[in-house]
Copies of this chain bind each other. A is one copy, B any other.
């Protein structure tokens, strides 16, 4: 054989070996690759990933259901921008836009779920669970209930052993269900009185007055009734229901029921009793405790909450309320809650939801305190660092809301002062308090918080000048 032929043969052989190796690699990938098993789910998966790649400049996001619908013709998904941003890709900042610190929209946890996209996604088949009930019987998923109990055990924030769990469309629905269940039914001359300590979450009053059933009535301040009940310890005609929010919305205080009386019952709104908002000192063991997915994982959208209830009669009444009101809770929401809570529980590797949430809110609180500390016009509520059993260390403050006070006597309307400075909060009187207070939400998007910081800095830097007075 000639040398040239030999070389040619060798080169061909080499090329063939390379090409065959590549063949083997491809074939191996096809046989063992995850994707190759997929069929009917591909369309939905592609749609979701396609939407996720749309750039919204870090100031918004496109969703699979955010298409524009123009006269029944659907256009492709579009960016939905954060407050103060606009444009097809949220690329335009709107400079005169006010900082929105109003609603407690828990978007601060969104980046965590973006980081955990792979484990937190769900594919819902068209035929997934069409029935009213799970296993021909309950409106509630047994699996979700088990996960919720497991979560409370791990976090150590609530005793669930020997207690009942009931699901609702957010804690919103459960508040009224609990009030309904505790109210005096017919056999009393006067309707039950609903009270809460000032400052309290406005919905309690709004909702109770709105539904105005024959059995109960909102009566505002718990402290007034504390004295009255103590004076009339034998008064059996007045039934009181106290709503206790702990940690409190708006001020983050770990409230306890103020009424101690045989005729007084308490509903504990515990939606903020999680390690990202507060130190967990001991598992809460109240008779009725409310929690929500909104404040645990940030999914306000799901309208999912649960109550932990000690007494069987109360549980049964609340269960009947849920049946009569909405026939239970969306099963799509329950499915999502199962998946999300699973990740909260499992989060051993990398940063957990609680780590992420605490770090974010503590950082925001620190920044806010630094800004306010140089001011003589405003003050913030005091929150102490506390030992947290969950993190097993001293936990610095990371409240969901700032409870800002205008200190100047002439500035009785603090909300107006802030509005004039391009900051939208919520006025104190909505919480039964004076209007010298304003609640500022710290759990919204980073953009919202950045705007708040920006406008607050300006406001405080102008403090000494004539303009601000």
Which A residues are closer than 8 A to B by beta carbons? 1-2, 5, 8-9, 12-13, 15-16, 19-20, 22-23, 26, 30, 34-50, 52, 61, 63-67, 69, 72, 80, 83, 103, 105-107, 109-110, 113-114, 116-133, 135-136, 141-144, 146-147, 150, 168-170, 172-173, 176, 203, 206-207, 210-215, 294, 298-304, 320-321, 324-336, 338-340, 343
Contact = CB atoms under 8 A, between A and B. Distances in A.
B300 A329 contact: no
Contacts of A125: 48, 52, 113, 117, 120-121
A319 to B, nearest CB: 12
Nearest to A335: B65
A46 B38 contact: yes
Contacts of A20: 19
Contacts of A39: 49, 118
B320 A210 contact: yes
B42 A172 contact: no
Contacts of A23: 19, 22-23, 26
Given A38-B46, A116-B126, 18 more contacts: A9-B9, A12-B16, A19-B22, A22-B23, A35-B36, A38-B38, A39-B49, A43-B118, A44-B45, A48-B125, A65-B335, A121-B124, A126-B339, A169-B329, A213-B214, A302-B330, A332-B332, A332-B333
Among A41, A44, A131, A170: residue with most chain B CB under 10 A: A41
Contact of A35 (B38, B119, B294): B38
A43 B9 contact: no
Contacts of A299: 130
A302 to B, nearest CB: 6
Contact of A123 (B48, B83, B338): B48
Given A110-B127, A123-B48, A333-B333, A212 B213 contact: yes
A166 to B, nearest CB: 14
